[in-house]
Every structure is written in structure tokens, then in C-alpha cells.
Amino acid sequence: MKNIKLVATDLDGTFLRNDRTISESNLEALRRLGERQIIRVAATGRNLNKVKEVLTDDIPFDYVVFSSGAGIYQWNKKEHLFAQNLSRNSSEKLLRHFVSRKLNFHAFYPVPENHNHYFFRGEEECEEFERYFNFNQYYATELDPEQLPQTELCQFLVIIKEDEDDFRKLKTEIEGLCPEIRVIRSSSPITPGYIWIEVFHHLVSKGNGVREVCRLSGVEVDETMGIGNDYNDFDLLEFTRHSFLTYNSPKAIQHKYPLMPSNEEDAFAVSVQPLLV
């Protein structure tokens, strides 16, 4: 831990409290890391617009790996550095498949405009789909199955009720459509009892996003630390040399990494404390 030069943290459920605010302890820890010239990275599933809803310009991160690694933004210089979208061919194939399966899904514009998205209501009513839509309807356009968009897309979000067998079957089905894609599982940050199935380019991950930040910054893998709280943080935690989960992470995964306190108990500040003494 003495040689750490980069710290990467998830936001929701890790760095942020449940009400999406930042504790004074976490903010002070972030400042002190900067004083020691340790690079501070937020690695999140949020798109950049949604990052800006919870991080004001004065929050001293250096980089933001957003949309699970589909984009990288230099926070302190307000500069886009990287984007990885799905090809037009893969995007169209996924659109046609999800429509034919009558699934509830959202399809997001290419980075960096991926706060905008198309939505499609499937055959089965889904309260979680409607909640997400209500939160984001200002940026939403209803998908016309007869005139599908002819463009690259950043990602897809398919929402299902929490059922591990259904998830595994759907994951296998989706990943079999084309070699360019991968599926990331995430617990719903809105309502317990739902799984968010996120579909990206196969090179997109929080880990690969942080890897690119390391390349840009001249940091070695052995000089990195990461902290997260959910399934979609595995790529990050598998990449960073020293990795931790918060106590509020799902019980089924808590054996994988050392545990820190919950996000309500300053998990980030506690995890980086050894770097600040």
C-alpha cells in the first residue's frame, strides 16, 4: 500500500452515501490524496450527465471513468479522452433481437451523448422500467420498430425481475448474438428485486477504463487501489492491485475481497487511510 499512485472508487453505494451526498470524511480523504499526488479516479456506471448530478466541479477527482468504462473524462480539465461504442451492425442486431423478444429495454446514443436514449416497452409490465423511464424521460425517445436508428450505440439496458436462472439464460442468449458484445450484471440502484442487464462493447469495463488512465498517467498496475460494492465492480477490482468491497455489498460476493465499512460509514475514507498516515 505504500507505493500506491492511483485510487479508483465506484460512486453509488461506495463513495456516495445512500442519499447521493458525500460525507465530509470522504471529501477530506480525496483532498489529502491529491496533496500526496495520488491520482483520484471515479469509476461508475453513470453516464457523464448523471455524474455531474452528484459531483460538482469542485469535487477533486482527476478522472472519471463513466458508463462502466465506455468513456473517460479528465475531470479537472473538462476534457473527453476516450470513447468505445458498439458498432452500427451490432447495435442494429441487438435492437432487432430485443424488439422481437418483446423485452423492456433502453438503447443509449454514442458517447459522449449517451445520456440520450431510446426506450421500448416490452410485453411484460415492469415497474422498475417505468421508474427508470420516469427519472430519465427528458432524454428519452420512444423506439419505432419500423424505423430503427442506423447508428453506433453506447450500450443497452434490459431490466428483469431478480432471478438468477433467467439472468444466466438471457446473458448466454445475448452474448451469442455477436462477438463484439459483453453483458454486465448490476443490482438495481433504484429498487431491490431487479437485475439490470447492461450490454456493451466487449472491451468496455471499469477495469479497462482505469487501465487506460494508468497508461495516460504512467502508473503501473502494482501501484493501484480500488474499492467498489457490487457485481459491476468486479472488472475494476480484478484490475487494481489492492482491492476492497464495502460492507453493504451483496452477501453473495463479500468473500471475494477484504471488506471495508459501508458507504454510510465512510468506506472510502477508511480504505485510503493507510495512504495518508
Task: Please state, in angstroms and rounded to a whole number, the distance separating the CA atoms of residues 30 and 16.
Answer: 12
- The secondary element (H helix, E strand) that includes residue 105 is strand 105-108
Could you tell me what percent of the chain has a pLDDT over 70?
100
Task: Please state, in angstroms and rounded to a whole number, the distance separating the CA atoms of residues 74 and 180.
Answer: 27
10 and 31 fall within a common domain:
yes
Q: Report the pLDDT value the prediction gives residue 88, as an integer from 0 to 100.
A: 95
List the CATH number of the domain containing 39: 3.40.50.1000
Asked whether 258 and 38 are in contact (CB, 8 A), the reply is: no
112 and 172 fall within a common domain:
yes
pLDDT tens digits for 26-55?
A: 999 999 999 999 999 999 999 999 999 999
pLDDT tens digits for 85-119?
A: 999 999 999 999 999 999 999 999 999 999 999 99
Range of the domain at 264: 6-84+204-276
Q: What is the DSSP letter of 11?
A: I
195 and 93 fall within a common domain:
yes
pLDDT tens digits for 181-238?
A: 999 888 887 788 899 999 999 999 999 999 999 999 999 999 999 999 999 999 999 9
Mean pLDDT across the chain: 95
51 and 179 fall within a common domain:
no
Q: Report the pLDDT value the prediction gives residue 179, as an integer from 0 to 100.
A: 87
Q: Report the pLDDT value the prediction gives residue 209, as an integer from 0 to 100.
A: 97
Residue 1 lies in a domain: no
The β-bridge partners of 168 are none
Provide the domain count of the chain.
2
- pTM for the full predicted model: 0.89
Residue 31 lies in a domain: yes
The β-bridge partners of 141 are 118
pLDDT tens digits for 146-194?
A: 999 999 999 999 999 889 999 999 999 999 998 899 998 888 877 888 9
218 and 251 fall within a common domain:
yes
239 pLDDT above the threshold of 90: yes
Asked whether 93 and 177 are in contact (CB, 8 A), the reply is: yes
